Structure 1
């Protein structure tokens, strides 16, 4: 191609490409490109990514895009190369008209983080328009008497191009009578004038045909022509003359339609019709101007026809013509400049440059929320705009450049308080009076996991009946989270802890979705009375937050245990107990004592005794509370020697549980020796009476001696250790009645955490290891003890076996599972009464109601030790 076109074509192409693609500059810190108009679609303007210091990956990651303030998208970004390319045909004349400079502003918006860059593209003019005349034919009538040198204004050509490509010169076809002069007026505008160079002679030539040519400065140059027809008229030798060749006026843009603007005046010294003047606007006045202004043909007054707008055009120039009515007509000309003054008639406009972004509630100060710009079409102070936000708004406006602003966070945000804001921005100009407009920008606050789940209460008390169905629901805890979405989704779990050295997960399990706690098996109050569950509520946020609560489970006793007879001991082996009594017994004689325990607690463990059946119901009575069997009257000779009693033992539960024991009493004459151990087998009736009597005498003597020795030893030890917490026998005054039931009973109220319990200790509280010291009961005619310990029958049998091995049968009688003397401590109700009285003195009000409080008196024991015929039971 270069070979065919030649050297000159090659040079022209090189200059053209250099003009198209290599002109770009950066001015005042902004990127500016220069391109010629009429570029093809897809033509490269410049490497935008490189000039902004961005990599190709940033174009995708930060979603780079180009926005035009004018609305038309003439440019776009090639995401693959980072180049700014032409998106549509660009006509500089349509964009900027006759303006000397044509700069197209663009905004480059990048997200993540949000950032705004401003670039400018200067549109260079290309000689794509030829000069043109409004009319292709122009007729001028000139009187032949017109003197040489008279000038006749011709129609100016219009060339939309500017600069070197704009209109440069005029030329006129050759004619001896006329020459062309070009007059340059304000703003560099050139007006061609036809000058009469030689006197006209109509008789020689009545019509002159001329061609006016307008040439621009392009390369190659373009031109336009207008045909001028000059008709030579006969005589009217005076041209109307205006008082001023140039008039100037300034009016406000809000002047009313039909208002008078200015008066032009011309005079003609001719007389008659040759001196009568008719005014009109110049023949080359554009139609848009003709629609705005009107001139009175007679007076020359100029009026406004339609509303002016400073923002549309700030100045108008009118050519006024004054023609006389002579023949030929003579015409005079003047120019009128009308400047339109700005009035504050445009309210400011707020334009969002970017879509408002969602803001996390933990955003720092200065986080960009949105980009916006403000514009006012007015000029001067009328176009100066200030922005204002509500005082309570946690946002502020940060100025950027050229009336661009960034809406940024300026205070702490809390989605739980406000999940979103409708930010009302007020724009006010500096006009008088000022105009304002408002723009509401919605901003959504996104949630951050900054709130842990909160239980409805820090701890829960659950009361559960024993013997429940496994898998039944115990309780449902609930926690709420002020956050939103995944951050507010709560799951529940049980934290691992120990209950009786066993993981709590073996007792209960929890539904992680709704917080319901279920039992793994049924509970037995006698084995487990209270335990606690540490539950946790955790949200699904990142990082997750959690909180804990404690569930205290109290097992409620049910009356599921019948009273168990622990004395007479023979009742544990069968249903019949054998006892003996002398026929000389008086009324109130203690025959025996029935002792029973109930593994339940509270009212369910309150035991009462009742004589259900008897061989002679008038002879015996059973104490309702102690179970003591005594004679109601003296035994007579008529009473049978064999008495049979059926004693019923009931608890106070609902439903009532009961058991029975049968006591067989042998009434014998002259029986004065101590009663032998009832666990020994009855002497066969067939044995000889003498041998029995001998055994009785020996037993009585042994018991008497042993009792005397034991009493003396205990008395000596009691005197020696009266000041210490060691072993000591109880005095008779302590055993005679129930006035001081807790003399040697130490009670300690423990408040370990939320669980309250009572410790009952024997003796002094100063030692960790105490001994329950006992001696012979003066109330009993036997030397017997009662073991007090709620335990299984198997455990008690083991204790009995130990005690049997350490004590002589003639000395001790083992009645039941309880170890105590047969005095007031054998009555559990009296111990409870003593405890109630003790607690009533603690901190004012009693900590429990004795109508519902149940006490489990547990004595932890070691193997009994016998020293000097005194039984020591270490606790």
Structure 2
């Protein structure tokens, strides 16, 4: 019957605690409270934590819902399917909190994306699961037969590991005719039993008594414990030792050295001889511990520390001391020493980073939570008050969320390109003197955002390519740098498509998307295309992508790939295709210097490659030939007067040669028939006009050569003066770089200067313009000018 009653009461008690836990939580200041009885079974319902925190069940798993407890993380668990907090393993309140009245578990509920931290307090309710326990199975008491009625004899009380009502003990004594039981309340509100002598003892009649002392706690159902009291009746030693006071107080700092004196007791006995010699002993030390914390000298009554006192483990002790004389029988008296343990600042603060978010985007909003930090200190009072601080010069700050819990939040804007990561040091310092401190390091990585477009080193490049290049040859490499990282810094290149004449730009050039190498897709022809100007774009792989453009000026340099071409005869000149011949009648009466014919030729090339010269083949006309050809005019004139000795038919072979390397040539055959003056055609006025025009053309060529030499000399002098000024005043280089400097082109016969927009031709006074001489160069920056003057072969 007793067992079934206890089981029924136990089930009723668990049901009562479960109902209390359902109704005991409340929300305030971001905290939820629950309660749960100790020793609850696995799976016992504690609370609907997800619902109470305002979280949806569907978001628990995606947001990484988890419960963290600093020291007891496995006692409680959350079912992620229904959001219920339940008991996961055995909860022993006495092991968690000892005899403290308040006992609770602090839980941190953490969810990510975004990071939120909730604080939950779960109070562990005490149940009556520990019966009263006596230190020994049997207690022996020596009582003199001369003890008067109403004498009090303290007994060793029982201890109960529970708290509150469950630890309130009541005592009962087995029925007897000599003693009754009285309960005495001490300063610490502990109830200690005492035997009260009701009737005088007679050792001869009753030398020994055995009584049963029972202790019952206040729990429901109540639990009991018992001890046998063995009373030995002693013969007359009628004075027991007496202490000065029934209770003493002492205070010691924790961590005092082993052997430190606690108190010096002094009991007295008015008897004589052995009956007044006293032996001291410790009866009991509360709270009961396996370690012996104090010792007493049996003769002097000096109590010393025997072990190590720790305020955080226990801040108060009760030492029960007895003094026994050496009489026969001996007599004893008792006193109590209350020892207060004072706190020292001997515990360093602890810093715990309980949650870290992922890498922080550099465009994160100010106030974003980066990490959750908790601090603690086991000391008491000021020694346990902890303040936190961060290393200076970091864009973060600490925000207090609950007691010693903080959130590390963003305080100012981030820029990954300047600082890609931070090592934040959190310092926790207590209020002791001297203060103790501890640090914890938090690594914060800054993730990249695509906020930088690819950038070229300069906005425009000038490239020189010789014509007749091989198809697919590499002509230049563009390169752009992106300050971002990973995909945001991966640059790809592409042509900015446009039309070049009737064709698309992509039919001339292409650009490699990854390397930025620019290729000519087909052979370029200077005579068809002298300047190809286009843009290349650089785009990163960010979302959205960013980009920029660079301009390329590709100048096609001339090569000597076109031989001189003879023009058809006309306006008094002779000409023909290579190997062709045409006759002309010449009067024998003409004098020296008379122009009899003219060879005209053009060259499709430019510059020196198109500068033509004429000469007679050494074998044409023999050594005494009366004719010569103008070096640059192509006019055939007499060197002397004609006579009868000259052959009637003269065959002249004129070589037309350009100034390219190597030079290309063409030949023209001129047939002259010498006739008498009466047989010559009447074209004297025309001959005179031709002669005058030839003389004028010779003068023009001479003036042109002189002008070119003068301009070249002036340009060289200007360049020397400009270089000297730049060396003397380097600060003006930035300003001069913005202007469009003149372009200088070097050649074997001097230096010519021209602008990017002008093209000069030297023309004779008759017929269409002749491209015998042409000067054309691109507009270069000063940095390319020196390189051009030293290494570039000029054409066009």
TM-score, normalization by structure 1: 0.78
Q: Residue in 2 aligned with 1:609?
A: 614
The within-5 A match list for 1:504-523 is: 504-523=505-524
The within-5 A match list for 1:334-349 is: 334-349=335-350
The superposition leaves residues 459-517 of structure 1 with CA deviations (integer Å, 9 ceiling, x where unpaired) of: 22222111112122222222222222212222111111222242111112222121122
Do the aligned partners of 1:497 and 1:534 also contact (CA within 8 Å) in 2?
no
Q: Residue in 1 aligned with 2:664?
A: 657
Q: Residue in 1 aligned with 2:646?
A: 639
Structure 1 residue 66: Cα displacement:
0.8
Q: Residue in 2 aligned with 1:812?
A: none
The within-5 A match list for 1:472-871 is: 472-568=473-569, 570-572=575-577, 575-612=580-617, 613-618=619-624, 619-670=626-677, 696=682, 757-759=756-758, 785-788=766-769, 828-829=772-773
Structure 1 residue 610: Cα displacement:
1.2
Q: Which stretch of structure 1 is more off in the superposition, 135-144 or 470-479?
A: 470-479
* SS of 2:506 mapped into structure 1: helix
Tell me, in whole angstroms, the C-alpha distance in 2 between the residues paired with 1:141 and 1:47. Answer: 61
* SS of 2:383 mapped into structure 1: helix
* SS of 1:475 mapped into structure 2: strand
Q: Residue in 2 aligned with 1:60?
A: 61
Q: Residue in 2 aligned with 1:711?
A: none
The superposition leaves residues 184-213 of structure 1 with CA deviations (integer Å, 9 ceiling, x where unpaired) of: 113321111111111111122111111111
Do the aligned partners of 2:557 and 2:795 also contact (CA within 8 Å) in 1?
no
Tell me, in whole angstroms, the C-alpha distance in 2 between the residues paired with 1:58 and 1:438. Answer: 35
Do the aligned partners of 1:167 and 1:214 also contact (CA within 8 Å) in 2?
no
Q: Residue in 1 aligned with 2:306?
A: 305
Tell me, in whole angstroms, the C-alpha distance in 2 between the residues paired with 1:123 and 1:759. Answer: 97
Structure 1 residue 415: Cα displacement:
2.0
Tell me, in whole angstroms, the C-alpha distance in 1 between the residues paired with 2:494 and 2:86. Answer: 61
Say whether residues 1:119 and 2:120 are aligned partners.
yes
Tell me, in whole angstroms, the C-alpha distance in 1 between the residues paired with 2:740 and 2:243. Answer: 118
Residue 671 to residue 220, structure 1, CA distance change in 2 (3 Å): farther
The superposition leaves residues 750-806 of structure 1 with CA deviations (integer Å, 9 ceiling, x where unpaired) of: 98999953345999xxxxxxxx9x9xx7xxxxxxx311266xxxxxxxxxxxxxxxx
Tell me, in whole angstroms, the C-alpha distance in 2 between the residues paired with 1:532 and 1:510. Answer: 14
Residue 739 to residue 285, structure 1, CA distance change in 2 (3 Å): closer
Do the aligned partners of 1:492 and 1:515 also contact (CA within 8 Å) in 2?
yes
Tell me, in whole angstroms, the C-alpha distance in 2 between the residues paired with 1:48 and 1:292. Answer: 44
Structure 1 residue 625: Cα displacement:
1.4
The superposition leaves residues 606-644 of structure 1 with CA deviations (integer Å, 9 ceiling, x where unpaired) of: 111111132244311112111121111111122112111
Do the aligned partners of 1:134 and 1:284 also contact (CA within 8 Å) in 2?
no
The within-5 A match list for 1:52-451 is: 52-283=53-284, 288=289, 291-355=292-356, 357-451=358-452
Residue 255 to residue 284, structure 1, CA distance change in 2 (3 Å): closer
Structure 1 residue 428: Cα displacement:
1.7
Tell me, in whole angstroms, the C-alpha distance in 2 between the residues paired with 1:846 and 1:587. Answer: 50
Structure 1 residue 532: Cα displacement:
2.0
**What RMSD over aligned residues (CA atoms) do the two structures have, in Å?**
3.4
Do the aligned partners of 1:490 and 1:540 also contact (CA within 8 Å) in 2?
yes
Structure 1 residue 855: Cα displacement:
8.0
The superposition leaves residues 53-108 of structure 1 with CA deviations (integer Å, 9 ceiling, x where unpaired) of: 11002211221111112244211110000011111100111111111121111111
Tell me, in whole angstroms, the C-alpha distance in 1 between the residues paired with 2:426 and 2:194. Answer: 58
Q: Which stretch of structure 1 is more off in the superposition, 641-650 or 439-448?
A: 439-448
Structure 1 residue 567: Cα displacement:
4.8
Tell me, in whole angstroms, the C-alpha distance in 2 between the residues paired with 1:736 and 1:533. Answer: 43
Q: Residue in 1 aligned with 2:722?
A: none
Q: Residue in 1 aligned with 2:735?
A: none
Residue 241 to residue 9, structure 1, CA distance change in 2 (3 Å): closer
Structure 1 residue 218: Cα displacement:
1.9
Structure 1 residue 734: Cα displacement:
11
The superposition leaves residues 539-598 of structure 1 with CA deviations (integer Å, 9 ceiling, x where unpaired) of: 111111112112221111111100011153550496102222221111111112212111
* SS of 1:188 mapped into structure 2: coil
Q: Which stretch of structure 1 is more off in the superposition, 47-56 or 245-254?
A: 245-254
* SS of 1:586 mapped into structure 2: coil
Structure 1 residue 179: Cα displacement:
0.4
Structure 1 residue 408: Cα displacement:
1.5
Tell me, in whole angstroms, the C-alpha distance in 2 between the residues paired with 1:69 and 1:45. Answer: 19
Do the aligned partners of 2:493 and 2:539 also contact (CA within 8 Å) in 1?
yes
Residue 270 to residue 543, structure 1, CA distance change in 2 (3 Å): same
Q: Which runs of 5+ in 1 are unaligned?
A: 676-695, 708-729, 764-771, 778-784, 791-827, 840-844, 857-875
Aligned length: 732
Tell me, in whole angstroms, the C-alpha distance in 2 between the residues paired with 1:49 and 1:489. Answer: 44
Q: Residue in 2 aligned with 1:25?
A: 25
* SS of 1:354 mapped into structure 2: strand
Do the aligned partners of 2:285 and 2:317 also contact (CA within 8 Å) in 1?
no
Q: Which runs of 5+ in 2 are unaligned?
A: 706-710, 712-738, 744-753, 780-784
Do the aligned partners of 1:357 and 1:370 also contact (CA within 8 Å) in 2?
no
Q: Residue in 2 aligned with 1:720?
A: none
Q: Residue in 2 aligned with 1:796?
A: none
Tell me, in whole angstroms, the C-alpha distance in 1 between the residues paired with 2:652 and 2:108. Answer: 113
TM-score, normalization by structure 2: 0.86
* SS of 1:25 mapped into structure 2: coil
Structure 1 residue 291: Cα displacement:
2.1
Tell me, in whole angstroms, the C-alpha distance in 2 between the residues paired with 1:314 and 1:391. Answer: 39
Do the aligned partners of 1:567 and 1:594 also contact (CA within 8 Å) in 2?
no
Structure 1 residue 667: Cα displacement:
1.6
* SS of 2:576 mapped into structure 1: helix
Tell me, in whole angstroms, the C-alpha distance in 1 between the residues paired with 2:454 and 2:38. Answer: 65
Tell me, in whole angstroms, the C-alpha distance in 1 between the residues paired with 2:73 and 2:349. Answer: 21
Do the aligned partners of 1:131 and 1:167 also contact (CA within 8 Å) in 2?
no
